[in-house]
Amino acid sequence: MPDLGEKAGVMERFDIEGGRKLWGSVRLKGAKNTVLPLIAASLLTDEETVIRDCPDIVDVSTMLKIVRALGSAAYRDGDDIVTRGRITNFEIPKELACEMRSSVFLLGTMLSVLGRAETTFPGGCAIGARPVDIHMHGLGALGAKVEYIGDTIRLTSDGLKGADIKLSFPSVGATENVMMAATLARGETTIINAAREPEIVDLANMLNMMGAKISGAGTSVIKIIGVDALRGIKYTPMPDRIVAGTLIAATVACGGRVEITNCPESFSDYLSAIIKSDTCNICSKYGITTVESYGILPGLGTIETGPYPMFPTDMQAQICALAACSDGETTVIENVFENRYAHLYELEKLGAKISIYGNMAKITGKGFLVGGDMMAHDLRGGAGLLIAAMAAAGKSTLSNVRVIDRGYENIEKMFSALGAKITRTIIIP
């Protein structure tokens, strides 16, 4: 797996020969969007915790580096992540915080264990402002003192206390942060307007197995009764619904037949209701989703992203790529991030016809794309561009692909095993 930290200054690109159908089977591992907060939650105990079936991706590697910098043991054992020992350092190293937005998940845990936490404003993909004010509001309501000193966030507490907290937006990260901080706080905490994503339920399930008392996860009101201590456990996270959606979109765009095992059926059924066509079939049974595609997809109508159960913003780029391959019109409205359309300008290089009006994009598919040279600007946008390149006629290049490695384990090998032709090229300046 490529390492962003060890390859500073080195560029990588994908060379893609498009027009190949996809055939075969893929098994999903644990979801990136749940594994990262689960690692943060594991630090609420100094006992050994094992998180199984974890993807070997850059964001997980970065999270483990941060955990070790905080003083705990953290390492990969095959597909398992193992953490052990009490954290002792209250400062997240700046160079690591700048690599990954999810470093903010650790603040609630650090406050609970150490009573203090410091970090620079977290990094990640350039898809919008993504302010941390909702996180800070929640942690502040539990009794933390929040200070902004230059680009540093400092939180201190002489003991967190339960509170009623109403979030201004059902932020997934803020909901998770407050859940973790409240687990060891004194008294009862109620999160109102909480995020309802399946990843929230997964985190609550793990924390409850560790000894927490959390109810209501998956609804807009979550209650947490603080406990004195948590224990180490072994836990298997939910499979990655965004990787599943990426595979489904790619198969429909390229044609062929792909089986996705260990697949969240509810999400594949949800996509099946959106991708309605006589030219493809998406069927889920016994944890296996089978995708068959044998023609050009018509336009998809209007798709609007938003908090669960609305269409996930992390699938917006992939569905845009599919729309660009269709024969018809699709309207996409992005309600979560204000700067998540960079990939659309790259899609135009393959011949896509796209008009952007603020947070709305109109994509008029012509039934085909042609190869071209593109650049990935962010994780999910890069995955969408790869789908378009695989479906396009002729050769394409996709540069800056290490942003894709943040959330997909060897994505080029996954698709190549299904019949795509993708080569990773390292460019040394």
Active-site residues, by number, are: 125
Q: Is 78 helix (H, G, I), strand (E, B) or coil?
A: coil
Cα–Cα distances (Å) from 130 to 104, 122, 171, 338, 360, in that order, read 12, 10, 10, 9, 19
DSSP 122: P
Extract the tokens encoding 182: 């409240």
Extract the tokens encoding 408: 């997909």
Q: How many residues does the chain have?
A: 429
Pairing of strands 301-304, 73-77: unpaired
What is the rounded CA–CA span in Å between residue 360 and residue 355? Answer: 8
Q: Which amino acid is at 56?
A: D
Q: Which amino acid is at 86?
A: R
Residue 152's Cα: distance from chain center in Å?
25
What DSSP line would sit under 42-100, residue for residue? HTTSSS-EEE-S----HHHHHHHHHHHHTT-EEEEETTEEEEES-----B--HHHHTT-
Q: Is 83 helix (H, G, I), strand (E, B) or coil?
A: strand
Taking Cα atoms as reference points, which of 245, 280, 237 lies closest to residue 266?
245
Exposed e or buried b per residue across 237-254, where buried means at least 16 C-beta atoms within 10 angstroms of its C-beta? bbbbbbbbbbbbbbbbbb
Q: Is 298 helix (H, G, I), strand (E, B) or coil?
A: strand
- Of the CA atoms within 13 Å of residue 301, those in its CB half-sphere come to 7
By the 10 Å C-beta count (0-12 exposed, 13-18 middle, 19+ buried), 351 is classed as middle
What DSSP line would sit under 8-27, residue for residue? TT-EEEEEEE----EEEEEE
Extract the tokens encoding 348: 């135009």
What is the rounded CA–CA span in Å between residue 20 and residue 22? Answer: 7
Q: Say if CB 138 and CB 191 are below 8 A apart.
A: yes
**Cα torsion at 81, 86, 88, 91 (round to 10°)?**
40
What is the rounded CA–CA span in Å between residue 261 and residue 363? Answer: 31
What is the rounded CA–CA span in Å between residue 248 and residue 426? Answer: 28
Extract the tokens encoding 2: 């490529």
